[in-house]
Amino acid sequence: MAKLKLITFGCQANEADSEKIAGVLAQEGFELTEMAEEADLILINTCSIREKAEQKVYSLLGTFQRLKVQNPRMKIGLCGCLAQREGTRLKDRFPYLDLLAGPGAMIYRIPEMLRGSPAPPVLPRPKELLPLYIHSPRPRRESLFKAWVSIMEGCNYLCTFCVVPYTRGPERSRPPEDILAEVEDLLKQGYREITLLGQTVNAYGKNLKPRTRFSDLLRAIDALVGREMRVRFTSSHPRDLTPDLIEAVATLKSICEHVHLPVQAGSDRVLARMRRLYTRQQYLERVGALRRAVPDIALSTDLIVGFPGESEEDFQETLSLLRQVRYDSIFAFKYSARPLTPAATYPDQVSGEAKTERIHTALQLQDDIALEKNRGRVGTIEEVLIEEGPNPKMQSTATGRTRRNQLIHFSQESLVPGDTVSAVIAEGYSHYLKGKIP
């Protein structure tokens, strides 16, 4: 069998795409290898959201070029958002590249490209971009009990910092019957948890005829999986956290008590310049409605610090929002100027030093909040899906996630990945819990 070395950067959508790439290429006779030296094909699934990830890709390409000199039959390709954004310019810069393919449905064209018809990585028409899972090979999933299920591609919001609409294109939703068929297949295979994926997952269905709301899809999935599967979804846009969706999260048993709701900033001035299309107050109202419906819901968010023009006062408003919402976890990033995006041209870029200081301050505050919250959970009983076996670094014998998406470590011997258990929270830390089986 031919060997494929697959390297993935970036978001969960890219991880899901990589599983699809592995599935498509398995049908072409490729098996995965960890060793680049023995690979017949090296594919890097790239991300364009932050500059750092791009620099890593370029440095990896240099390493792989040296391997290709030793083994000229080796093929090297780039997939994903960087390939989509830069297109054939990459070929000029790295002439030894054999293959370029954008994200999403471009994956299914990789075999024909390998056979010698290089499709240009331009955005195909939206119709062509609908995921083709039912008629395509199954993704080669990394886990035997947790699965990504892509339900939409692209994004119609045009946040001024974000490159996604230019690389993944406009929003397209996958037909519900197609999604339900994939979920049913996963259920039959014994999967215990699915995560519905989309750039703005809760905007699902706007382009479908007849229109299907995201909450309708959740209801249909819940009716199919009952209590046999946990259902998560990410990422949500605050504008699409509608009353019907909140009701679905509150009433459907399969839907986990966790919502990832990116806020990005706490200052109205910055939110407007980001073109997030909500104010701080509107965001807080949605959070309030969600918490009234599901009082113990876990909330996580994304933050950007050092967006162009962010003053110290603006940043203080972000800190005050963290104190007000008291998230369970956050993902904070320093603003990174991205080609094609309006914010990259804003003249008032924030210095690297200020960004570094602000990110440390935000993360420290969040650590304090999470520590207090997690200590407050000691003694509660939570359902946990065991995901991994022993972790010597954590001195644990097993690790899982609660329905609230919190990482939890155990020190008992008998827990097996894939098991669902009821655990007592024994200790709480900023980034994880420790649990016991009563």
Does 162 help bind ligand SF4 (rule: CB under 6 A)?
yes
Does 165 help bind ligand SF4 (rule: CB under 6 A)?
yes
End-to-end Cα separation, the chain, in angstroms: 48
Residue 67 Cβ, how far from ligand SF4 at the closest point, in Å? 34
Of 195 and 200, nearer to ligand SF4 (C-beta) is 200
Does 164 help bind ligand SF4 (rule: CB under 6 A)?
yes
Of 212 and 235, nearer to ligand SF4 (C-beta) is 235
Of 155 and 229, nearer to ligand SF4 (C-beta) is 155
Residue 197 Cβ, how far from ligand SF4 at the closest point, in Å? 12
- Identify any residues that bridge with 302 across adjacent strands, giving them in sequence order: 331
Residue 168 Cβ, how far from ligand SF4 at the closest point, in Å? 8
The answer to whether residues 144 and 101 touch, using CB atoms and an 8 Å cutoff, is no
Of 155 and 415, nearer to ligand SF4 (C-beta) is 155
Q: Which stretch binds ligand SF4 (CB under 6 A): 74-82, 158-166, 326-334, 420-428?
A: 158-166
Residue located via tokens 């290089």: 118
Classify 252 as helix, strand or coil. Answer: coil
Q: Could you write out the DSSP letters of every residue in 335-350?
A: ----TT-GGGG-S-PP
Does 157 help bind ligand SF4 (rule: CB under 6 A)?
yes
* Angle between helical axes of 280-293 and 312-325 (0-180°, round to 10): 10
Restricting to residues 186-215, name those near ligand SF4 by CB under 6 A: 199-200
Q: Give dist(CA 77, CA 425) in Å, integer.
A: 46
What x-and-dash track marks residues 241-260 binding ligand SF4 by CB under 6 A? Answer: --------------------
Residue 239 Cβ, how far from ligand SF4 at the closest point, in Å? 9
Residue 165 Cβ, how far from ligand SF4 at the closest point, in Å? 5
Q: Around 149, how many Cα atoms within 13 Å sit in the side-chain half-sphere?
A: 30
Q: Give dist(CA 365, CA 385) in Å, integer.
A: 29
Among 237, 258, 273, 280, binds ligand SF4 (CB under 6 A): 237
The answer to whether residues 120 and 159 touch, using CB atoms and an 8 Å cutoff, is no
What x-and-dash track marks residues 137-156 binding ligand SF4 by CB under 6 A? Answer: ------------------x-
Element (H, E) at 402: strand 398-402
* List of residues 6+ apart from 71 with CB closer than 8 A: none
Please give the residue ranges that form the binding site for ligand SF4 (CB under 6 A): 155, 157-159, 162, 164-165, 199-200, 237
